[in-house]
Chains A and B, each alone.
Chain A
């Protein structure tokens, strides 16, 4: 597989290590009342879909960036590659706006 890195261009997937579902970016709140269950689901349970899957790849043999790659688990087609820090930043901003509204 070739991963089209946002700044370095097309790179061989062998340069990367894989972590799994990008939902892992959404760490549960340890102060929540349901924290025990939330962390169990976070740590161990997976959606594991057949089809489009957003997942974390680490460019270990390159610029050491974390990426969120949107890849099809049936065809291995990669349709989108983003920096994980941008995805996380967008998540935080969205949460702040949501909190401000409520």
Chain B
């Protein structure tokens, strides 16, 4: 089934009887060429690019729950490529370019909206750091614009510009950044992968790896044994648990990141704003709710809910940046489990076990990386060599001292 304006018109005059499920519900086969463990955004994107760009056949995606029930449906929907380090910026810019063509590629409306991401600065040194970051972005082919306070004021007059402690002096704007309807990303990739014959098998939990002579040849699942010559694991949030079944310890801790939505308001915020003096970022959804979040809770957890001190911290950040937010009520809040890697950057690499590949460690920034992560992981699975933009995301970079310290911290700020 494909989607088009003509199709909508046709269905409208025939009583909407022709719509079919977006993907099939196949029974698992006995073996596949490639199995992707984890039917989140990254796993589905990997399957899609394996089938469409690398011409691979006989692919299955195994998901323990349902498609779109993990972090791809729990994030704050922001896409951007405003990183400083070359190892990151090239990758995230590649991702942003894939976002720009995503809807045509997967034939699904993911509501990609390049409404601009604005990082505010509040001091001279912070401005200098943003100038440097903006230049690094431009050098890597991304777009960046430094705005002075007046320009920010004309965009968002309601911000707390004249705060005594943290006045808003300006901001670094990435006009091509924005938001995407996150669930539709999962559904879109599932739709496109399914159309190319990928089996998306839900309610199928991997319970063990079949490793013979240092070679992974299949997985035990809650729906029986499935063999495969290559197995890619993309289960960020639960990476340590899944890889432990293959006897691999990872440089990762699982933490919870909380997000919030306010009640629906009239349109007031047409872009994404991040506060430079506290951990707070906000955008407005098309339904009118303010979508915002802050920092991770900061302790190991697998519970998909957080604790109140971080709720207070995020709300204080919001009040400090845009005091009028205090009149809005919080409608919903939730948490998602994230892989906090020890340097704050992801891993896309082979493992010491032949045929077993790993993708994880996305920290609190996995959503924006979805297309590039899928593409790079597909590249690695198909060709056994890393994609050009993901060469630095090696598992062994910690032993070799080649950490990618974008923020100078990982799970904790004391590791470097």
How many Å lie between the Cα of A46 and that of B412 in the bound state? 13
What residues on A are CB-neighbors of B302 within 8 Å? 50, 73-74
Minimum Cβ distance to chain B for residue A79 (Å): 15
Q: Chain B: which residue is nearest A55 at the CB level?
A: B300
Taken residue by residue from 19 to 42, chain A's Cβ proximity to chain B (1 for < 8 Å, 0 otherwise) reads as: 111000000000000000000110
Contacts of A48 in B (CB 8 A): 240-241, 250, 252-254, 300
- Decide yes or no whether B342 CB sits under 8 A from chain A: yes
- In the complex the two chains form, is A44's CB within 8 Å of B303's CB? no
Please name all residues of chain A whose beta carbon is closer than 8 Å to the beta carbon of B414 when the two chains form the complex. Answer: 19
* Bound CA span A59–B249, Å: 29
Task: Report yes or no: A45 in contact with B309, Cβ–Cβ below 8 A.
Answer: no
Contact status A75-B298, CB under 8 Å: no
Q: At the interface, yes or no: B104 with Cβ under 8 Å from chain A?
A: no
Q: What per-residue 1/0 map shows which CB atoms of B386-416 lie under 8 Å from chain A?
A: 0000000000001100000000000110110
**A95 and B240 alpha carbons, distance in the complex (Å):** 30
Q: Which 4 A-B pairs have the closest CB atoms?
A: A48-B240, A14-B309, A44-B251, A50-B302
B301, A20: Cβ atoms under 8 Å?
no
Q: Is B213 an interface residue (CB 8 A)?
A: no
Supplied contacts A20-B253, A49-B240, A75-B303, 8 more A-B pairs, CB within 8 Å: A14-B309, A18-B298, A19-B412, A45-B251, A48-B252, A50-B302, A73-B254, A73-B301
Residues of B contacting A75 in the complex (Cβ-Cβ under 8 angstroms): 303
Contact of B303 among A43, A46, A74 (CB under 8 A): A74
In the complex, whether B154 has a CB less than 8 A from a CB of chain A is no
What is the bound-complex CA distance between A20 and B411, given in angstroms? 9
Taking A44-B342, A45-B249 as contacts, is the C-beta distance between A12 and B299 under 8 angstroms?
no
> Separation in Å of the B89 CB from the closest CB of chain A?
24
Which among B249, B299, B307 has the highest number of chain A CB atoms within 10 Å?
Answer: B299
Whole-angstrom CA separation of A49 from B249 in the bound complex: 11
Q: A46-B240, A53-B300 are in contact. Are A41 and B249 (CB under 8 A)?
A: yes
Total interface residues on A, CB under 8 Å, equals: 26
Interface string of B227-269 (1 = CB under 8 A from A): 0000000000010110010000111111000000000000000
Contacts A/B (CB < 8 Å), 5 sampled: A18-B298, A18-B412, A48-B254, A48-B300, A76-B303
B399's nearest neighbour on chain A, judged by CB, is A40
A-B pair number, CB within 8 angstroms:
68
A1 adjacent to chain B (CB < 8 Å): yes
Chain A residues within 8 Å of B301, by CB: 73-74, 76
Q: Which residue of B lies closest to A57 (CB)?
A: B299
User: Inside 8 A of B307's CB, which chain A residues have their CB?
Assistant: 1, 13, 76
**Distance between Cα atoms of A1 and B303 in the complex (Å):** 13
**Judging by beta carbons under 8 Å apart, are A47 and B249 in contact?**
yes
Nearest A residue (CB) for B251: A44
Contacts of A43 in B (CB 8 A): 342, 398, 415
**Which residue in chain B gives the minimum CB-CB distance to A36?**
B399
**Are A73 and B300 within 8 A (Cβ)?**
yes
Q: Which of B241, B244, B302, B414 has the most CB of A within 10 A?
A: B302
CA distance A49 to B301 in the complex (A): 9
Identify A12's interface contact among B244, B300, B309, B411, CB under 8 A: B309
Taken together as a complex, chains A and B put the C-alpha atoms of A44 and B402 apart, in Å, by: 13
> Is A20 within 8 A of B254, CB to CB?
no
User: For residue B397, which residue of chain A has the nearest CB?
Assistant: A44
Chain B residues whose CB sits within 8 angstroms of the CB of A41 once the complex forms: 249
Residues of A within 8 A of B238 (CB): 50
Residue numbers in B under 8 Å from A45 (CB-CB)? 249-251
A29 to B406, CA, bound (A): 31
